[in-house]
Structure 1
Amino acid sequence: MTCAGRSASSSCGVCSPSSGPLQTTRCRLPAADYALLKAKGPYKRPIFVPHEPDPKAIPTAHPPTWSKVRWAVKLPEFPVPERLAKALNVVDRQRSEAQIRAQFLPGDFNAETYSSFLSTLLHIEEYQQSVNLARYNLSSVPLHQERTGRYRLYIRGLTEGKPSLLVGDKLLVCKYAEQIWHEAIVHEVRFQEVILYINSTFKLRSSGDLIDVRFQLNRMPWRRRQQAVTLNVNQPRFLFPTAQDTSTLHRPTAADIDAFDFGDESLIDNQEQKTIVAAIANAPPASVPFVVFGPPGTGKTVTLVEAALQILWNDPTARLLMCAPTNDAADLLAFKMMDLGPSHLFRLNAIWRPIKSTLQVILKEFCLINGNRVYAIPEVEALKKFRVIVTTCVSAAVPYSLGISRGWFTHVFLDEAGQCSEPDSMIPLKLIAGPETNVVLAGDIKQLGPVIHSSIGRDLGLRSSYMERLSSRPIYDLETYRGITIMKLIKHFRSHPAIISYSNRRFYANELLPCGDPAITHSMLRSVVLDGLNPEFPIVFHGIAGRDEQEEGSPSYFNIAEASLVAQYCDELISDRKVPITAKDIGVISPYTAQCRKIRALLDRSSVRMEGLKVGTTEEFQGQERRVIILSTARSNPAHAIGDMHRRLGFVGDAQRFNVAITRARALLIVVGDPGVLTLDPVWKEFLAYVQSNGGWRGKGLHRNNLNSDDEDTAQDAVRQETKELIERIQSLNFGNANGWAVPNPDNLGPEPDEEAYDDRPMTMDD
């Protein structure tokens, strides 16, 4: 098999050997690659089985390595209501959504209905994630006893986060063919095994006896979200601000800006960054949230940190809570503020978070770690001594639960706010911010938003971040309120001008100004990868006609021809003597976890050193950059691509995912895909026309008219308009009111799109 369905090791037939010296090798699929990556067995779509509630189980104590915490505020359980669970536990998704709209959601979304509305959406998403986790339940698997109460369980897929387990997570175990369930607590996570502690009433006849296993969702984050959204404190200036709330604000003047002594010298020539710092630092208490709109590579986090430092230097009474949706982003915030010293800065971690990254080791003196080398939570009086606390959005509930009153912190900063679901954003805003606390949001609503698993939850509004909803209100209009309530950063420091050019025009009103260091951004122009192409244009689109497949055990898609081609590009880049780079300089992105697995398998087999080369999904790369980025789009079946639009997976039909993917590269962007499928999407079609017109195309091509957006042929215009309308209708998922349209049911999609999506979305934002 080859990328065009020919015999192994033969040419794919879509590329001209004369189009470049490396062309003849890149379009072959070696037999060894096919043998390594071929499907293990056919994928069988699971039959819908009603989700069963968890059985009662004999409890087991938490890990003894955890330090005890004295909570001052009780955290309620907030179980998913039985009636709502019953409405969700059906195969007909449309009927379920209609019932929820009619029976569980208020008719309007306003300050009075805010809590009940978001609480219901949270229950819907929690229920779906429980269903997804249950897909990994095990039946009749061996459990090995190491000593009394301590057991070892092998879990296939653990290394890939399928399922994702942390110390302290609960499993339910039952001896095979019996009905007595016991809680098992994860005490250690190894490569493909977990060490479990189970109460003394659980006994095996012999090590290796068979058991059934049910994985349990960690409900602590869900309970904290519910605690926040249901708290009977809904400040209008946060939730639904109006022009009246801006009466005390003004755009910073030149004198306002000149009054600051900027600690970061890189801000001296950046008017937008200085304006943001002045606006945030000078804002009177009880202001509306200030929004920092930070497109890729514009120094958003640097600006946020400078604003925080200016507040601390100019106001000795200021106390800051700085949050981010993920631990990595929170670690980066803390790292950039380390000069404050461990007496002023504290990095608050969840007690179940493992210590494994380099940045975590660097930040050790800014954390509390007990004698068991496990994160711990300080006593409330100790925590109140710090001027700055950095944590994740979910762990921002800890100060409130310890008894720190709302309003203790004068400022709340939320970085990467575009990735936060609204309930996650409400944890620091509703539990921490008081009547005079000022809030700052920084992010980019043109990139990926929150990861939401429930298609019903997405349809009902959970897919939009708090920052996105706020930015749509009139007082955040950039033309009118620039510098008052919102500011857009426009100096772009990451990429070669050609790499950022298309996103700049499409998503950022062509306002971004490339300011990157040419020693980096132009460093790949002599690469062998550009041989035969425009040597001044560091974007390559390699057209290839592969086949997207699934295999036993996962609904995620992979494309062997593309994976093989990506691996060959990696080999060539690392072996390139003209432009020497290392594996750490390269990132490979695909929207499908199965494709990522296949690419890793090929790279692991390579004779070239690949240590440090990251392969991951788009979500894993948001906020990151590499000197070289290779994208594998994986899709070669138009019907499958339309299915992706339905589920908001992949690159086709999802402009935010597309934008993230093509803006990670600093000096070279390589895209591997099937142009016949990608051009179904108007955004991709326009991007491919941009690449072709600049001489960056190789491999399978399309007739120029297929990419010519100026084609005046009436028939072409009609087809283009019809395709656009079809995509819009699929994206809106408004199938019940399609005005006579017969929307296709690609890939034999059933009524529940979540069924096919769970394997390509992270389980949760980490905490």
Structure 2
Amino acid sequence: MIVNVRILREGDYLALTIENLSERRPSLVLGDVQKYNGRLPFGILFSRFGFANNIAPSSELSDIWAKSFFPSNIQLRSKPQLDVQLNKDYDIVFKNTKFQWQTITLVETILQLVKHLPNSRLLVGTPSNSSADLITTRLLDSGDLCPGDFIRLVSQNQIEKELIPEHLLPYCATIDISADGTSNDDMIITESGLKLKCQMKYLGRHRVTISTCSTLGNFLQMDFAKGHFTHALIDESGQCTEPEIMITITQVSRYRGQVILAGDPNQLQAVVTNRYAAENGYDLSFLERILARSPYLRTSLDIRSHVVLILA
């Protein structure tokens, strides 16, 4: 929140100077609407709520929004995407091969998708950096992915405050939202392996991209090819605000994409400090909202405390 600011006229526009900001912070994009009634002084609040809700309905998914995100019935596929079975010992069996379980539901899902769907490109969104770090660590510990298969996107603020775990530095990167060919600056690799100012031509190579939902919103400004990402997986989705989730899932392929929500709707809820947002229902997560509708009602399905929803 910026208070007591002065806006000066520059030609046909009003200009606001903000001191001591990191580059492109805040990054204003289409949907960040500011209204000014001519009175002084006043304050300015930069928020991603408006951005998320403006981008979602007008995205490539707009015409299947209601059916996909708020379905009224279940339509089973004639053939499963992966014919995975459980044997009598509850081991995962695929093509007569037994696989080891991971301790985190979403990590297991990521590994199976990468292994058995060669053309998949996964966005993994979380409500917090600690959650993103944990998933990245578990993927690293699994030994099933090569270093170039996945990437953990971080913010400049995390770097400046030295909040990135040392063992994850070689797998972390920051985003340069400039379009390819418009910037002369190349990617910088530090002694620790941390990659800075990565552009689309580099980020598009990875099978799995992990970050907070809000940071993944940077991809919306990078003009990735439609259909580049095939899956969106949200960890601890009960703690994510609905706009945060929409920022991630609107980037999934319209024709072959899937959305997976993992979380516990009976534990911590999304934290919303803005009173206006809370009064208008933004403190209710998308997971909670969809579980209150058919066909996900408890009367329709036997849903336990920890749930994984797949929206095809």
* TM exceeding 0.5: yes
State the one-letter code of the partner of 2:68. F
Name 1:256's counterpart in structure 2: 85
Task: State the shift of 1:422 in Å.
Answer: 0.8
Instruction: Quote the offset at 1:477 in angstroms.
Output: 2.9
Which of residues 328, 340, 345 in structure 1 aligns to 2:130?
328
**CA distance in structure 2 between the aligned counterparts of 1:321 and 1:433, rounded to whole angstroms:** 11
SS in 2 for 1:353: helix
One-letter code aligned to 1:342: P
Aligned residue number for residue 514 of structure 1: none
2:76 to 234, 247, 251: 247
Match of 2:67 among 237, 241, 252: 237
Aligned to 1:388: 208
Q: Whole-Å Cα distance in 2 between the matches of residues 400 and 432 of structure 1?
A: 11
| CA 55–230 in structure 1, closer or farther in 2 if over 3 Å, else same | farther
Match of residue 222, structure 2, among 382, 385, 402: 402
How far apart, in 1, do the equivalents of 2:219 and 2:262 lie? 22
* SS at 1:321 equivalent: strand
Question: How big is the shift at 1:432?
Answer: 3.7
Q: Which amino acid aligns with 2:222?
A: L
Q: Return the letter of the residue paired with 2:125.
A: C
Aligned position for 1:353: 158
1:79 to 17, 27, 33: 33
Name whichever structure is richer in helix by fraction.
1
* Structure 2 CA distance for partners of 1:487 and 1:320, relative to 1, 3 Å: farther
**What amino acid does structure 2 have at the position aligned with 1:364?**
L
Q: In the alignment, is residue 416 of structure 1 matched against residue 221 of structure 2? A: no
What residue in structure 2 maps to residue 55 of structure 1?
6
1:643-662 maps to which residues of 2 (within 5 A)?
none
Distance change (3 Å), C-alpha of 1:371 and 1:411: closer
Trace 1:97-176 onto structure 2 (pairs within 5 A).
Answer: none
Which whole-Å CA distance do the structure 2 matches of 1:399 and 1:307 have between them? 23
Task: Give how far 1:250 is off.
Answer: 9.3
The counterpart of 2:258, out of the listed 438, 444, 453, is 438
Gaps in structure 2 of 5+ consecutive residues: 8-15, 88-92, 175-187, 308-312
State the alpha-carbon separation in 1 of the partners of residues 285 and 72 from structure 2: 19
SS in 2 for 1:365: helix
Identity percentage over the alignment? 22
Q: Supply the distance in 2 between the matched residues of 1:303 and 1:384 (Cα, whole angstroms).
A: 25
Aligned residues: 266
Corresponding residue SS for 2:124:
strand
Residues 384 and 311 (structure 1), Cα distance of their counterparts in 2 relative to 1, 3 Å cut? same
Letter in 2 for 1:264: Q
What residue number does 1:367 align with?
172
Q: Structure 1's 378 and 358: CA in aligned 2 closer, same or farther, altered over 3 A?
A: closer
Rounded to whole Å, the distance in 2 between the matches of 1:400 and 1:394 is: 11
In structure 2, relative to structure 1, the CA distance for the partners of 1:60 and 1:488 (3 Å cut) is closer
- Aligned CA-pair RMSD: 3.8
- Give the TM-score normalised by the residue count of structure 1: 0.31
**Cα distance, 1:377–1:469 mapped onto 2, change above 3 Å:** farther
List per-residue Cα deviations over 1:254-282 (Å, max 9, x = no partner): 973343355434x6xxxxxxxxxxxxxxx
Deviation string, structure 1 residues 50-92 (Cα, Å, up to 9, x no partner): x9663225455855xx6x9xx9xx8226224458xx9xxxxxx
Deviations 1:531-570 (A, max 9, x none): xxxxxxxxxxxxxxxxxxxxxxxxxxxxxxxxxxxxxxxx
Structure 1 residues 438 and 58, CA gap change in structure 2 (3 angstroms): closer
Q: Find the structure with the greater CA-based Rg.
A: 1
Q: TM-score by structure 2 length?
A: 0.71
CA distance in 2, matches of 1:77, 1:480: 38
CA distance in 1 between partners of 2:125 and 2:158 (Å): 16
Structure 2 counterpart of 1:315, from 114, 117, 125: 117
Over 3 Å counting, the alpha-carbon distance change for 1:431 and 1:310 in structure 2 is closer
Judge conservation of contact 1:350–1:375 (CA < 8 Å) in 2: no
Deviations 1:678-731 (A, max 9, x none): xxxxxxxxxxxxxxxxxxxxxxxxxxxxxxxxxxxxxxxxxxxxxxxxxxxxxx
What secondary structure does 1:354 align onto?
Answer: helix
Is 2:52 aligned against 1:225?
Answer: yes
Structure 2 residue 288 is matched with structure 1 residue 468: yes
Q: 1:308 to 1:341 in 2, by over 3 A?
A: same
Q: Which has the bigger relative contact order, CA under 8 A and spacing at least 6?
A: 2
- Counterpart residue type for residue 29 of structure 2: L
Deviations 1:319-365 (A, max 9, x none): 11111011111111111111313210101112333355675321111
Matched letter for residue 353 of structure 1: Q
Verify the 8 A CA contact 2:71 2:294 in the aligned structure 1: no
1:344 to 143, 149, 170: 149
Residue identity opposite 1:241 in structure 2: P
The SS at the match of 2:156 is: coil
Corresponding residue for 2:177? Answer: none
Gaps of 5+ in 1: 1-50, 87-130, 135-215, 268-298, 491-767
Listed as ranges, the matches of 1:641-680 within 5 Å are none
Matched residue SS, 1:469: helix
